[in-house]
Amino acid sequence: MASAELLIAEMESFYRQYIDAFNGEDLTALAGYFSYPWAVVSGARGMNVINDEAGFVRVLQKMKASLKARGWTRSGIDMIAAWPTANDTGLLMADYTRYRIDGGVLERGRTCYTIRRDAGRWKIVSMLEVAQPFPGPGGIARSSG
Protein backbone atom coordinates (compact mmCIF):
# COMPACT_ATOMS: atom_id res chain seq x y z
CA MET A 1 0.00 0.00 0.00
CA ALA A 2 1.39 3.39 -1.03
CA SER A 3 1.52 6.22 1.48
CA ALA A 4 -0.96 9.06 1.18
CA GLU A 5 1.93 11.49 0.57
CA LEU A 6 3.21 9.41 -2.34
CA LEU A 7 -0.25 9.15 -3.87
CA ILE A 8 -0.82 12.89 -3.51
CA ALA A 9 2.50 13.58 -5.26
CA GLU A 10 1.55 11.18 -8.10
CA MET A 11 -1.89 12.76 -8.47
CA GLU A 12 -0.46 16.30 -8.55
CA SER A 13 2.19 15.26 -11.09
CA PHE A 14 -0.54 13.67 -13.23
CA TYR A 15 -2.52 16.92 -13.19
CA ARG A 16 0.49 19.00 -14.22
CA GLN A 17 1.12 16.62 -17.14
CA TYR A 18 -2.57 16.81 -18.08
CA ILE A 19 -2.49 20.62 -18.22
CA ASP A 20 0.66 20.50 -20.37
CA ALA A 21 -1.18 18.13 -22.73
CA PHE A 22 -4.29 20.35 -22.64
CA ASN A 23 -2.15 23.31 -23.73
CA GLY A 24 -0.81 21.31 -26.68
CA GLU A 25 -2.42 20.59 -30.02
CA ASP A 26 -2.43 16.77 -29.95
CA LEU A 27 -5.99 15.88 -28.92
CA THR A 28 -5.33 12.16 -29.34
CA ALA A 29 -2.52 12.36 -26.76
CA LEU A 30 -4.79 14.42 -24.49
CA ALA A 31 -7.48 11.74 -24.80
CA GLY A 32 -5.09 9.33 -23.08
CA TYR A 33 -5.57 11.24 -19.82
CA PHE A 34 -9.20 10.09 -19.59
CA SER A 35 -10.92 6.85 -18.60
CA TYR A 36 -13.84 5.96 -20.87
CA PRO A 37 -16.64 6.57 -20.44
CA TRP A 38 -16.03 9.79 -18.51
CA ALA A 39 -18.39 12.53 -17.47
CA VAL A 40 -18.61 16.29 -17.10
CA VAL A 41 -21.18 17.33 -14.51
CA SER A 42 -22.71 20.80 -14.16
CA GLY A 43 -25.82 22.20 -12.58
CA ALA A 44 -26.96 23.80 -15.81
CA ARG A 45 -26.39 20.86 -18.16
CA GLY A 46 -26.54 17.85 -15.85
CA MET A 47 -24.18 15.05 -16.87
CA ASN A 48 -22.50 14.89 -20.26
CA VAL A 49 -20.96 11.45 -20.84
CA ILE A 50 -18.16 10.95 -23.35
CA ASN A 51 -18.04 7.28 -24.31
CA ASP A 52 -14.77 6.95 -26.24
CA GLU A 53 -11.69 8.71 -27.58
CA ALA A 54 -13.41 9.68 -30.84
CA GLY A 55 -16.16 11.43 -28.88
CA PHE A 56 -13.54 13.11 -26.73
CA VAL A 57 -11.68 14.47 -29.75
CA ARG A 58 -14.93 15.87 -31.21
CA VAL A 59 -15.88 17.59 -27.94
CA LEU A 60 -12.40 18.99 -27.34
CA GLN A 61 -12.08 20.30 -30.90
CA LYS A 62 -15.22 22.39 -30.32
CA MET A 63 -14.14 23.48 -26.84
CA LYS A 64 -10.65 24.54 -27.89
CA ALA A 65 -11.99 26.33 -31.00
CA SER A 66 -14.35 28.27 -28.74
CA LEU A 67 -11.53 29.13 -26.30
CA LYS A 68 -9.24 30.24 -29.14
CA ALA A 69 -12.01 32.39 -30.61
CA ARG A 70 -12.13 34.18 -27.25
CA GLY A 71 -8.35 34.77 -27.38
CA TRP A 72 -7.16 31.80 -25.27
CA THR A 73 -3.57 30.69 -25.66
CA ARG A 74 -2.86 28.53 -22.59
CA SER A 75 -4.05 27.48 -19.15
CA GLY A 76 -1.99 27.63 -15.97
CA ILE A 77 -2.34 25.97 -12.58
CA ASP A 78 -2.81 28.19 -9.54
CA MET A 79 -3.48 25.51 -6.90
CA ILE A 80 -3.85 21.73 -6.65
CA ALA A 81 -5.33 19.78 -3.74
CA ALA A 82 -5.52 15.98 -3.87
CA TRP A 83 -7.19 13.40 -1.66
CA PRO A 84 -6.43 9.72 -2.27
CA THR A 85 -9.46 7.54 -1.56
CA ALA A 86 -7.66 4.21 -2.19
CA ASN A 87 -4.41 3.09 -3.85
CA ASP A 88 -5.98 3.55 -7.27
CA THR A 89 -8.64 6.27 -6.88
CA GLY A 90 -8.81 9.81 -5.65
CA LEU A 91 -10.29 13.27 -5.79
CA LEU A 92 -8.37 16.22 -7.10
CA MET A 93 -9.32 19.90 -7.07
CA ALA A 94 -7.49 22.57 -9.02
CA ASP A 95 -7.68 26.30 -9.52
CA TYR A 96 -6.65 27.40 -12.99
CA THR A 97 -6.22 30.56 -15.01
CA ARG A 98 -6.82 30.71 -18.73
CA TYR A 99 -4.61 33.27 -20.44
CA ARG A 100 -5.15 35.33 -23.58
CA ILE A 101 -2.63 35.64 -26.37
CA ASP A 102 -1.57 39.06 -24.99
CA GLY A 103 -0.78 37.48 -21.59
CA GLY A 104 -3.87 38.88 -19.87
CA VAL A 105 -6.31 36.77 -17.90
CA LEU A 106 -9.22 35.36 -19.89
CA GLU A 107 -10.85 33.62 -16.90
CA ARG A 108 -10.21 31.82 -13.65
CA GLY A 109 -11.93 28.70 -12.41
CA ARG A 110 -11.96 25.72 -10.09
CA THR A 111 -12.68 22.12 -11.09
CA CYS A 112 -12.93 18.87 -9.14
CA TYR A 113 -11.81 15.63 -10.74
CA THR A 114 -12.45 12.01 -9.87
CA ILE A 115 -9.40 10.07 -11.00
CA ARG A 116 -8.39 6.41 -11.10
CA ARG A 117 -5.28 4.47 -11.89
CA ASP A 118 -5.71 2.31 -14.99
CA ALA A 119 -2.86 0.06 -16.14
CA GLY A 120 -0.45 2.09 -14.00
CA ARG A 121 -1.57 5.53 -15.26
CA TRP A 122 -3.84 8.03 -13.56
CA LYS A 123 -6.85 9.00 -15.66
CA ILE A 124 -9.80 11.36 -15.29
CA VAL A 125 -13.17 9.67 -14.69
CA SER A 126 -15.27 12.78 -14.09
CA MET A 127 -15.05 16.56 -13.88
CA LEU A 128 -17.21 18.95 -11.86
CA GLU A 129 -17.02 22.73 -11.97
CA VAL A 130 -16.94 24.46 -8.59
CA ALA A 131 -18.91 27.65 -9.23
CA GLN A 132 -18.32 30.91 -7.42
CA PRO A 133 -18.77 31.59 -4.52
CA PHE A 134 -18.57 27.94 -3.39
CA PRO A 135 -15.20 26.65 -2.17
CA GLY A 136 -15.68 22.95 -2.95
CA PRO A 137 -14.15 20.09 -0.91
CA GLY A 138 -12.33 21.01 2.25
CA GLY A 139 -13.53 24.62 2.22
CA ILE A 140 -10.17 25.61 0.71
CA ALA A 141 -10.01 29.30 -0.18
CA ARG A 142 -9.59 30.02 -3.88
CA SER A 143 -6.19 31.13 -5.06
CA SER A 144 -5.86 34.67 -6.31
CA GLY A 145 -3.93 33.56 -9.38
Say yes or no to pLDDT of 134 above 90. no
| 23-45 per-position pLDDT tens digit | 999 999 999 999 999 999 988 88
4-133: what CATH class?
Answer: alpha beta
Give the rounded percent of residues in the chain with a pLDDT score beyond 70: 99
Say yes or no to pLDDT of 144 above 90. no
Q: Is the peptide bond before 135 cis (omega within 30 degrees of 0)?
A: no
| 65-79 per-position pLDDT tens digit | 999 999 999 999 999
Among 46, 19, 43, 38, which Cα is nearest to 30's? 19
- Does residue 115 contact residue 124 with C-beta atoms inside 8 Å? yes
The pTM for the full model equals 0.92
State residue 1's pLDDT score.
60
The least confident of 2-11, 39-48, 56-65 is 39-48
User: What is the helix, strand, coil percentage profile of the chain, to 5?
Assistant: 30, 45, 25
- Does residue 32 contact residue 40 with C-beta atoms inside 8 Å? no
